[in-house]
Amino acid sequence: MIEILSKDLLGRVARFRTKSGLVETPAFVPVINPSKELVSPRQLFEKFKCSTIIANAYLLLKAQKEGDIHDFLDFPGSIMTDSGAYQLLIYGQVDVSPAEIVHFQERIGSDLAVILDVPTGGYATYKQAQATIEETIRRAKESVSLRTRSDILWVAPVQGGTHANLVAESARQLSELDFPLFALGSPTQLMEHYQFDQLVDLVMAARQNLPSHKPIHLFGAGHPMIFPLIVAMGCDMFDSAAYALYAQNDRMLTSDGTYRLDEVQEDFCYCPACRQYTVSEMRRLEQTKRAQILAEHNLHVCFYEIARIKQAIKEGRLWRLVESRLSSHPSLVDAMGRLCLNANYIEHFSPISKRRALFISTDWSLFQPEVVRHQTRVACYNLPGSNRRILLLMEAPLARPYYSSPKYLQIEKVLEESAPELVNRIHIVFVSPYFGLVPFEISGVYPLTQNETPHSPPANWTTRIGEHLFRYLQQHDQYRALVGIFPKEDCWKSFAGLCTRRLKKRMDFLVCAHSDFRYQSLLRIVRRIGPLLQH
82 is catalytic: yes
Contacts from 402-408 at CB under 8 Å and sequence distance 24+? 402/430, 402/438, 402/440, 402/443, 402/448, 402/449, 403/440, 403/443, 403/444, 406/517, 407/517, 408/440
Neighbouring C-beta atoms of residue 417, cutoff 10 Å: 11
In angstroms, how far is CA 401 from the centroid of its own chain? 29
Q: How far apart are CA 458 and CA 363, in angstroms?
A: 6
Q: Comparing C-alpha atoms, which of 369, 335, 366 is closest to residue 349?
A: 369
State how far the Cα of 388 lies from the Cα of 474, in Å rounded to an integer: 16
Q: What contacts 246, CB < 8 A, 6 or more positions away?
A: 252, 253, 258, 294, 298
- For residues 439 and 381, the answer to whether their CB atoms sit within 8 Å is yes
Q: Give 92's DSSP letter.
A: S
Q: Which of 71, 74, 82, 197 is catalytic?
A: 82
Residue 377 near residue 412 (C-beta atoms within 8 A): no
Residue 456 DSSP class: S
Pairing between β-strand 153-158 and β-strand 112-114 as defined by DSSP bridges: parallel
Instruction: Give the pairing type, strands 181-184 and 216-218.
Output: parallel
Q: Supply φ then ψ for residue 432, to 5 degrees.
A: -105, 130
- List Cβ neighbours of 379 (8 Å cut-off, separation of 6 or more): 468, 471, 472, 475
Give the active site residues: 82
